[in-house]
Structure 1
Amino acid sequence: MDVMKVHVEEFTVATRAREDIVVVTEQVERVVARSGVKNGIVLIYLPHATAIVTANENEPRLREDILNKLRALFPRGAGYRHDEIDDNANAHLANLFTGFHLVMPVVGGRLRRGTWQEVMVIEMDGPRTRTIVVVVLGE
């Protein structure tokens, strides 16, 4: 009988600009490998209200398209009430509507992702140092 394992690790990444995309696939894959979990799930969680985590293709023009679409959907300086306190309401809205966590399968001891999928942190209020919490659950 296999025993359910829970493995938790955190790491940080530095973003370089107000809006930025940082690929963290390798770091997540290393956590999954160290977990010893053969089959289960991995939760990738950002304890931040102005950044996003997702999985998508790491192609330079697509990264530019992603940032441009987020800027169009959640423009800075659009009269948000929160901007009276901090000039980052658009980043909070982007986080709310796109996501601060991601769940992916672990199969055969590896992160199961599509051919072109990379785990990405999307910065909307940088540059900052962002913490990524990785929780691996399974047998």
Structure 2
Amino acid sequence: MSALDKHQMKFFDKILRIQTKKPVEIVDITSQISQLVQESKINKGIAIVYSPHTTTALIINENEPGLIKDIEGAVKDIVPWGKNYAHNAIDNNAPSHIVGSFLGNSLNLIISKGNLELGTWQSIFFVELDGPRSRKVLVRIVGE
């Protein structure tokens, strides 16, 4: 019997729904992701968190109100929002796309002993860059 035969890989898929309220907003989704890890009953593996939207991002950082406000402000400073971008002729949201591409749309999180391996001050955030909107985050948990 091979090592693969002993350990059957499991997959667990869920969709989180998020309703944002502001044009740029950072939403803590740590508790929802942790809850899904518990629900998956996967003891050791990886949680893949993915946003299928081009004007959103996923980040890990500290959940401190001043820092969240600072990050929301910095998001608006990464690229000039008042510039005449070619894409603005279509949707008028080119900066949202550009910032989203800089920040990234997925996270890979390690699961050990049935829990997320996050640092002491780390939280998982969904970043809205073109709200308010109804959004979704896809979560796939893989492991044993």
Query: 1:16-27 to 2 correspondence within 5 Å?
Result: 16-27=21-32
State how far apart, in whole Å, the 1-side matches of 2:108 and 2:120 are. 17
Query: 1:36-51 to 2 correspondence within 5 Å?
Result: 36-51=41-56
State how far apart, in whole Å, the 1-side matches of 2:80 and 2:93 are. 10
Matched, 1:14 2:29: no
Instruction: Give TM-score scaled by structure 1 length.
Output: 0.97
Task: Deviation per CA, 1:56-77: give whole Å up to 9, x if none.
Answer: 1111110111111111112322
Q: Is the 8 A contact 1:77 1:83 kept in 2?
A: no
Instruction: Return the offset for 1:110.
Output: 0.7
State how far apart, in whole Å, the 2-side matches of 1:75 and 1:12 are. 30
Gaps of 5+ in 2: 1-5
Q: What is the aligned partner in structure 2 of residue 66 from structure 1?
A: 71
State how far apart, in whole Å, the 1-side matches of 2:18 and 2:63 are. 17
Q: What is the aligned partner in structure 1 of residue 10 from structure 2?
A: 5
Instruction: Give TM-score scaled by structure 2 length.
Output: 0.93
Instruction: Return the offset for 1:95.
Output: 1.0
Q: What is the aligned partner in structure 1 of residue 100 from structure 2?
A: 95
Aligned length: 139
Question: Radius of gyration: which is bigger?
Answer: 2
2:62 maps to a residue whose letter is E
1:134 maps to a residue whose letter is V
CA RMSD in angstroms comes to 0.9
Runs of 4+ in 1 over 4 A off after TM superposition: none
Q: Is the 8 A contact 1:51 1:91 kept in 2?
A: yes
2:94 maps to a residue whose letter is A
Q: Secondary structure at the match of 2:110?
A: strand
Matched, 1:75 2:96: no
State how far apart, in whole Å, the 1-side matches of 2:76 and 2:124 are. 20
